[in-house]
Structure 1
Amino acid sequence: MEARILSMTDSWMRVRWRIDGVERLVVPPFAGRGRADELWQTTCFELFMMPKDGTPSYSEFNLSPSERWAAYDFSDYRSGQSERVFRREPDCSMRVGQAIAIFDASLPRIQMPEAPCAIGLSAVIEEEGGVKSYWALSHHKEEPDFHDPRSFTGCIARTRAA
Structure 2
Amino acid sequence: MRATLIPHVPETHVYPEAISVEFEREGGLLWLRFIIDDNPDFIAWPGDAPVGRADELWKHTCFEAFVTTDDGYREFNLSPSGQWASYRFDGYREGMRPADEVCVVEGLDGGRDYVALEGRIELPVEPRRLGLSAVIETVDGARTYWALAHPSDKPDFHHPDSFVLDLP
TM range (shorter): 0.7 to 0.9
Give CA deviations for 1:99-133 in whole Å, capped at 9, x if unaligned: 1110111123xxx2234411100000011110100
Within the candidate set 131, 143, 166, 1:155 is matched to 166
Q: Is the CA contact (8 Å cut-off) linking 1:33 and 1:89 kept in structure 2?
A: no
Amino acid at match of 2:152: K
Give CA deviations for 1:13-35 in whole Å, capped at 9, x if unaligned: 21011112223011112323211
Amino acid at match of 2:134: A
Paired residue for 1:20?
A: 37
Amino acid at match of 1:85: D
Moved over 4 A (4+): none
Change (3 A) 1:11 1:118: closer
Q: TM-score, normalised by structure 1?
A: 0.85
Q: Is the CA contact (8 Å cut-off) linking 2:32 and 2:118 kept in structure 1?
A: yes
Q: Is the CA contact (8 Å cut-off) linking 1:120 and 1:151 kept in structure 2?
A: yes
Q: CA deviation at 1:89?
A: 4.6
**SS of alignment partner, residue 37 of structure 1:** coil
Matched, 1:124 2:141: no
CA distance in 1, matches of 2:99, 2:127: 19
Paired residue for 1:160?
A: none
Length, aligned pairs only: 149
Paired residue for 2:98?
A: 83
Q: Is the CA contact (8 Å cut-off) linking 2:103 and 2:119 kept in structure 1?
A: no
Within the candidate set 73, 88, 96, 1:73 is matched to 88
Q: TM-score, normalised by structure 2?
A: 0.82
Runs of 5+ unmatched residues, structure 1: 158-162
Paired residue for 1:46?
A: 64
Give CA deviations for 1:58-78 in whole Å, capped at 9, x if unaligned: 100011000000000001101
CA distance in 1, matches of 2:34, 2:26: 19
Runs of 5+ unmatched residues, structure 2: 1-18
CA RMSD of aligned residues (A): 1.6
